[in-house]
A and B are shown apart, each in its own frame.
Chain A
Amino acid sequence: MANNHLTSESKQLATWYFTFAAILFGAQLLFGLVAAIQYVMPGFLYEILDFSIARILHINALVVWMVFAMFGSVYWLLPDETGIETIGIKIGKLIYWVFVAAIVVVVLVYLLVQVGPADATTIWFITEGREYIEAPRWADWGIVVVALTFVANLFLTGIKGKQTGIVTVLMADMIAFAGLYLAGMFFTDNISVDQYWWWWVIHLWVEATWEVFVGAIAAYGLITMIGAHRKVVEMWLWIEVAMLFGSGILGLGHHYFWIGTPEYWWEIGALFSALEPLPLVAMFVHVLYDWGKTQGGEEARGSSASVIKNKPAFTWFVLNAFGNFLGAGIWGFFHTLPQVNLYTHGSQFTSAHGHLAFFGAYATILIGMMYIAVQGTNGIKIMKHTKASIWGVSMVTGGVVGMTVALTIAGYVQVLVSRAQMGATWAAYFDGQSGSWFTQAMDWRLILGAVTFSGFLLLAKDLLTTGKSPVHER
């Protein structure tokens, strides 16, 4: 970017990460639309780009854009928190291009090769065929190298510079995040063992380390956007870490109800995963309370000015507080008890929860970080909403919430008809899928998916253009 206000190389690298993340976000929505169309018109792209391939791209793009935006967020906040330039930033920049190139190759192979023969070369070079982490084994090792470089950047900088509470939490969290990936890098004939370790990656990412990451980012956002007091914010952050890891680590048990693992996981999984919404309430309170407190302090001094230095980013952060609690907390709790999960496991209920949780807990706050980067890059003192930013946030949020409602209804039909009434066979499955409530729900999901995608286009336009808009105070 020409004439930008960034003097830190770490922040420059952050903007690269955010840019590629936004592109992958678009790809995620596009392939999601393909899959949604296939539910309504099963012949669409049949044997050209089948549902399985569209879905791999939908969920892999999701995971990877979030990882990109998370790396970007860390590179962005490191100079602010530590007071120094990120150490080893040149290698960080080089690794970025390696990461991007690897992803482009993986995606092209998914699209053009799709499947392979049942042997190890397929696992190494085409697909590992394990949901969310389908990336072939060569790419796994690439990801390990990339993650190690990132963690090294973070640790060296954190040790040399000022080590704030936020940086300390991020250091502990990111090493666990990177290390857990190793649990998903082996092959076994025993599918129960396979899924046991597979959940170590998936669950301990999204229901433990990623949530702690969000806590740290929310803390950073509150300090930089509304000037919340660091002492208060970091105390909350430590309480959140205790609650998130205290519930989330053993909450892993709710994935071990039906995969061949022993019955004691019923009790452990039920208890700890039922506690998982609590820290999300804490995070919600944290954001809104600090906002009210800071604004109240301003008003006590006789000023009516808003304390928010970045309106669009703060909007996304507040949506994160709501969305995390609703999508991950409430929609997760719906079906986390084994008595319920026996019927809901692997149904559209799961899908409804997945959509609102990934959006509410992660997409929101990471988009917020992108706005913070736009503000910093353009040297804006107080960043305001534009028409596109308001329409973008409204349409994306409305679309995802609408899809969640539609999928919840579809899940309800599936659970009652296919599972409880008909007994879960092949015929039972299609009886449930053919009911009019199910098919109508899928129509609505497609319509609201299109709304989400249109909202994304406005959001992307805003992120690209708002920096030069005259509405902001510079």
Chain B
Amino acid sequence: MANKSVWSDNRFWQRSATWVTGFASVLLIWLTFDTSVQIAMGNDEDLKNGVTKRVPGPTVINYKITYEMDAKRGHEVPVIGEKENFFGRDDWSEEEAGALLHLGKLGSQAKNCMDCHTLLGNGAYYAPDLTKAWLDPAWGPNGAMQALTAKETKEEAMAEFLQHPDRYPTHARMMPDLGITAKEAKGLVAFLKHMSSIDTNGFPRNFGHMQGAINGK
């Protein structure tokens, strides 16, 4: 067997497969540790001190969020600005905001949101992406949805729509009534507002710019 080439030796390929798989797995696990730290949710202190987190804490709902071009990074990033009322208050405590986000995230799963919509671009393609839905000009002061739902603020308009989507059709393809309660709707809107503050590396690109509706702070 002395002159048999290693390239036609099954043991050689078996060992190669094992080493390649092991190396890739170790690298993935190492990167997972790094990523886990970077995507851990921030807290209220970070927000108060202006520390930027990829995933801010739940009290981000007390602040105005915009989506602006970052010249250095070459794409848009969420920018957390001044205080802003959310359902009439801008002093949601960490516990209250956390409970609201928890309810909203549970609701997003209990109602199977991602089997029609995409969240962070993942899900189904039957309805619009919700990644930056909070920043959609349609819900803003000049958009159609506040007038349609007869509400004064973005969050109330969204909550009203979520409770009775079949009353406010925007297309022949209508969202069904999923039995969302007033409390759940509030949680879902908090969840959407929080999601819009996540740094998604510029996805989606040019969001809402065609209407020129994101005016900054």
- Please give the residue numbers on chain A whose beta carbons come within 8 Å of chain B beta carbons, in ascending order: 35, 38-39, 42-43, 46-47, 50-53, 55-56, 114-120, 122-123, 126-131, 134, 165, 168, 187-196, 198, 231, 234-235, 238-239, 241-242, 245-246, 249-250, 252, 255-266, 268, 342-343, 345-348, 350-351, 414, 419-430, 433-434
- For A421, give its contact among B103, B129, B191, B210 (CB under 8 Å): B210
Residues of B within 8 A of A192 (CB): 39, 54-55, 120, 198
B211 shortest CB reach to chain A, Å: 7
B179 within 8 A of A: yes
Q: What are some 18 contacts across the A-B interface (CB < 8 A)?
A: A52-B115, A55-B116, A119-B106, A129-B115, A131-B124, A187-B109, A189-B98, A189-B101, A189-B102, A192-B39, A258-B201, A259-B200, A345-B121, A414-B125, A424-B207, A425-B128, A426-B133, A427-B138
Which of A56, A188, A194, A343 contacts B112, CB < 8 Å? Answer: A56
Determine whether B184 belongs to the interface, using a CB cutoff of 8 Å to chain A: yes
Contact of A238 with B170 at beta-carbon distance under 8 Å, contacts A122-B106, A348-B125, A425-B207 already known: no
A304 to chain B, nearest CB (A): 30
Q: B171, A430: Cβ atoms under 8 Å?
A: yes
| Interface contact A56-B115, CB-CB below 8 Å | yes
Whether the pair A189, B110 counts as a contact (CB closer than 8 A) is: no
Known: A238-B14, A345-B203, A419-B204. A127 touches B41 (CB 8 A): no
A187–chain B nearest beta-carbon distance, Å: 8
With both beta carbons as reference points, the residue of chain B lying nearest to A110 in the complex is identified as B112
CB pair A117 B205 closer than 8 Å: no
Q: A55-B126, A118-B103, A249-B21 are in contact. Are A260 and B10 (CB under 8 A)?
A: no
In the docked arrangement, what's the CA distance between A350 and B106, Å? 26
How far is A428 from B36 in the complex, measured between Cα atoms in Å? Answer: 33
Q: Which residues of B have CB within 8 Å of A345?
A: 121, 203
Q: Are A250 and B198 in contact (CB under 8 A)?
A: no
A119 to B188, CA, bound (A): 13
Instruction: Tell me if B195 and A242 are in contact (CB < 8 A).
Output: no
Quick check: B210 and A342 within 8 Å, CB to CB? no
Query: Any chain A CB within 8 A of the CB of B38?
Result: yes
A116-B198 contact, Cβ under 8 Å, with A51-B116, A433-B173: no
Q: How far is the CA of A242 from the CA of B20 in the complex (A)?
A: 6
> Is the interface on chain B under 10, 10 to 19, 20 to 34, or 35 or more residues?
35 or more
Asked if B20 contacts A129 (CB within 8 A), the reply is no
Interface pair A193/B39, CB less than 8 Å apart? yes
List residues of chain B with CB within 8 A of the CB of A258.
120-121, 131, 200-203
Q: Are A117 and B39 in contact (CB under 8 A)?
A: no
Of all chain A residues, the one with the shortest Cβ separation from B54 is A260
- In addition to A120-B106, A260-B198, 8 A-B residue pairs with Cβ atoms within 8 Å of each other are A51-B115, A119-B106, A119-B110, A134-B115, A196-B32, A346-B125, A423-B209, A425-B208
Interface centre among B55, B108, B138 (most CB of A within 10 A): B55
Chain A nearest CB from B206 CB (Å) reads 4
A261 x B125 contact (CB < 8 A)? no
Q: In the complex, are the beta carbons of B201 and A238 less than 8 A apart? A: no
Contact status A129-B39, CB under 8 Å: no
The 7 closest A-B pairs by CB, nearest first: A129-B109, A118-B107, A258-B203, A238-B13, A346-B121, A424-B204, A52-B115
Contact: A55 with B35, CB < 8 Å? no
Chain B window 118-154, contacts with chain A (Cβ cutoff 8 Å), 1 for yes, 0 for no: 1111111111110111001110000000000000000
Asked if B28 is at the interface of the complex by the 8 Å CB criterion, the answer is yes
Q: Tell me, yes or no, whether B177 is within 8 Å of chain A by CB.
A: yes
Contact A46 B176 (CB under 8 A): yes
Beyond A115-B179, A191-B105, whether A55 also contacts B115 by CB under 8 A is yes
Cβ contacts under 8 Å, A116 to chain B: 110
A39 near B126 with CB under 8 A, answer yes
- Tell whether, in the assembled complex, residue B210 and residue A422 are in contact, meaning their CB atoms are under 8 Å apart: yes
Q: In this complex, which of B27, B173, B184 has the most chain A Cβ atoms within 10 angstroms of its Cβ?
A: B173
> Among A117, A131, A168, A350, which residue has its beta carbon within 8 angstroms of that of B110?
A117
In the assembly, what is the distance between CA of A259 and CA of B200, in Å? 5
Of B14, B109, B111, B133, chain A has the most CB atoms within 10 Å of the CB of B109
Q: State in angstroms the CA–CA spacing of A185 and B116 once bound together.
A: 22
Instruction: Specify which chain A residues have a CB less than 8 angstroms from the CB of B203 in the assembled complex.
Output: 257-258, 342, 345
